[in-house]
Chains A and B, each alone.
Chain A
């Protein structure tokens, strides 16, 4: 049987986080009442003209810098013509043969920690369309133009991805970069970060590309993996059954978990692109680029390297912490309160993030503040609480939002440092375990751990571990 290889390229639409739309002053806020954020320009009333939003250009250039693209001094706005009710002008303003950014790339990590750069073809700016809302019985449709003319960048990768997992990783990295520099909120549910995939397969070793299928509507990391995997297998089935793959656009149905043909190549629209005569050429001068470059926030890869070199974290931990911009931010804020990278990283990764995964939560929504995490770490390092107690306290904080001190008081978890209390408990344990005592005295030092365990158990883990060790050793050695 022939072994196939998939060739995948992604087209990502990222919404730029500007306050206003690409060609008018209307708000871009999500969730407003339908058509409340519209004006003559984005409704395409007669005589209305587009005026480019400088902030959007700035964000777009920042994205291109972060992705290491070649920013074009001169680029051009074009009209993409097609009729659809959510497209008020009957054309979309986009960039066609002169996009503002070429080249660049996103690094992904392959097997054995090798990095591979997925190159970009281009990035261009464009406006979003509105939204059609269809009535349930199909009697009528309504149009909401709030989203019309919201600024987007479309990031087109080379077809250099080979597996659904690679595609998902590329997407994660790309999202992480855009979010970390503050130009996109990365919200896939609200459509601020959307993905189409071009998928083809070919026999492994073959140089020529197979017929490509465009997959639309794959708007979560989970769907990306599923939909691409489905498509690869579907194409394999088509070819092995003796047919050929048809060039077409397919729509992923996440409920039915399958893709359906939307239109075939011969039905494809002729968009009749031409330069938009309402808009002068877009000129981006090098001084503007340099200024943005100087103020560009730290990129995730750089942050990762810094976490390793300056904080002494393992590559693995640093990777986890920098994978999500908000997690990294949380970590660095906690560091401001207590500079203990390893303790904080351990707590954050194994406890907090573990809890987040289990409860399907994101870092910005959880009830613990960076300051409280720092305070817990400090208590651990000062031997005031054990790791086990720390976990208990954390779980409580995450559920109630109380401070570590409140939880410790409430749960009676304040550490026992009173030597007489510890000594009394230790004496009782030695007395209750004569056999182990004899073994210890006979030179079996390993049994010491058993006594420590018993002592901690007797004090519900609250005995100061240092003191517990010291007192036990003294008492056991005495006799």
Chain B
């Protein structure tokens, strides 16, 4: 069999050239074979097979929904009632939710079949997927490298061909950076586009649900399934959802692509710079106008981001107190002991670091210097983008300064790890949509990612620009040796 994309496989299913049960069995087999990647925390074989049978039955009677029984997988941050949600944390070990997250519900209604819950950095805090109480995830391209984080499992499972697509969350690059490191497509839509209801919160004003897939068109189809207003999320947008596939093949003629000069300063790996330069030339050839733009406050984005996300996290994670669910220790010795022992044993080092940092930046006497200042920077960054988008339709740059780093390399230096998020965090701070797609390989055969940033709710242009590049290149058809796609 060929290596079908999700969009192709939907057609094959409709033509009855393959069944959902066959697809799910293949996915489960691949998951087991590649268990060593550690991309999956909980494999849900039985549920997935049962749903596949149901999907096949429905197809036979003509009542099949549009994804029609395609195997996918979920970052273990999405609440599911039939299987535990761990958020890769000991504090939620064996926690079974009493309700399903809206995104999962929508994906399931559209006919997506989840084969399991994917590994991640604990509470989505990290850029390497090394902060997981279930162990690190390996990059399918090179086992001693990080697949990126925090949606490392989501990226690795797609890159390894286990599933056609996966759900992830992106707070400061957690979909785009692993997509870049693992050589897949990842999109974080506009803040408010996908409901956050039932998604374990890290930093509420930045968290956004998105998808990872092998191709741009696949990502468009998956995002279509989960987008839309949700009455359970006051920050979700009532804007109608356009058809993401309709104009996807329209090309880039007459489109203006902005290239921020600040994204090409020092610290960029030369091969990454070359790959992006080549992409710019290709776009020019395809008829786009390249505009040099400036995002002058880029240098402050990382600091502002780590102040705001830790502040929000310090409050969001206060609910894990051992009183109602999840891990609970030290109850016998009283209240203070319950709090201390539960939270000490339940949270990993990075989560504790961020809770402490966040508590500090909100403390009386420090609030103005940190949280308030960061909020002001956030406004300035949003203004940068608003001005830039008067000159261009989409912004292009590298997703990350380097390709995938070695596992363990930055674990002892959190600041170095944080600095790697320089190109991805602004997009979250401004609430804009961002997409990463493969645009080449470095000398060590590690994938390079290109990032496209769009105007609020202008996902259609992102898909269209990304697809125009993808159509002319073969990167998305280049898979790691272990790839077990269909």
Contacts and interface: CB of A to CB of B under 8 A. Distances in A.
Interface string A385-411: 000000000000000000000000000
Q: In the complex, which range does the number of interface residues on chain B fall in?
A: 35 or more
B395 interface: no
A88 B92 CA distance: 16
A297 interface: no
Interface in B359-379: 359, 362-364, 367, 371
B67 interface: no
Contacts of B363: 270, 272
Contacts of A274: 311-312, 315, 362, 367, 371
A49 B79 contact: no
Chain B interface, DSSP helix/strand/loop, else mixed? loop
A21 interface: no
A187 interface: no
Contact of B318 (A51, A89, A143, A270): A89
B362 A278 contact: no
Contact of A49 (B87, B234, B325): B234
Interface stretch (A67-75, A78-86, A191-199, A326-334): A78-86
A47 B318 contact: no
Contact of B319 (A52, A90, A280): A90
Contact of A143 (B312, B323, B325): B323
A40 interface: yes
Contacts of B231: 51
B321 interface: yes
Given A90-B319, A274-B311, A47 B200 contact: yes
B325 A90 contact: no
B234 A277 contact: no
B232 interface: yes
Nearest to B207: A277
A43 interface: yes
A347 B234 CA distance: 54
A272 B359 contact: yes
Interface in B173-226: 196-201, 203-205
B339 interface: yes
Given A81-B318, A272-B359, A49 B197 contact: yes
A77 to B, nearest CB: 9
A246 interface: no
Interface in A72-110: 79, 81, 83, 85, 88-91
Interface in A43-75: 43-52
A280 B234 contact: yes
B95 interface: yes
A45 B317 CA distance: 11
B411 interface: no
Interface in A275-292: 276-280
A7 B324 CA distance: 43
B97 A45 contact: yes
B217 to A, nearest CB: 30
Nearest to A90: B318
B252 to A, nearest CB: 35
A322 to B, nearest CB: 40
A438 B92 CA distance: 104
B344 to A, nearest CB: 14
A45 B319 CA distance: 8
Contacts of B349: none
A48 B318 contact: no
Contact of B99 (A40, A50, A89): A40
Interface in B292-350: 311-312, 314-315, 317-319, 321, 323-325, 335, 339
A50 B79 CA distance: 17
B345 to A, nearest CB: 17
Contact of A277 (B203, B232, B339, B367): B203
Interface string B77-121: 001000001010000100101110100000000000000000000
B82 to A, nearest CB: 15
Contacts of A276: 204
Contacts of B321: 83, 85, 90
Contacts of A88: 319, 323-324
B197 A272 contact: no
Contacts of B204: 276-278
Contact of B97 (A46, A51, A79, A270): A46
A46 B323 contact: no
B109 to A, nearest CB: 18
Contacts of A91: 315, 318
Given A46-B97, A90-B321, A274-B367, A81 B232 contact: no
Contacts of A89: 315, 318-319
B201 A81 contact: no
Interface in A15-60: 40, 43-52
B165 to A, nearest CB: 21
Given A51-B234, A89-B319, A91-B318, A46 B364 contact: no
Interface of A: 40, 43-52, 79, 81, 83, 85, 88-91, 143, 270, 272-274, 276-280
10 contacts: A45-B98, A46-B87, A46-B201, A46-B319, A89-B319, A272-B367, A273-B362, A274-B311, A274-B312, A274-B362
Interface of B: 79, 85, 87, 92, 95, 97-99, 101, 196-201, 203-205, 231-235, 311-312, 314-315, 317-319, 321, 323-325, 335, 339, 359, 362-364, 367, 371
Given A40-B98, A276-B204, 10 more contacts: A45-B97, A49-B196, A52-B234, A88-B319, A88-B323, A90-B315, A273-B362, A274-B315, A278-B204, A279-B234
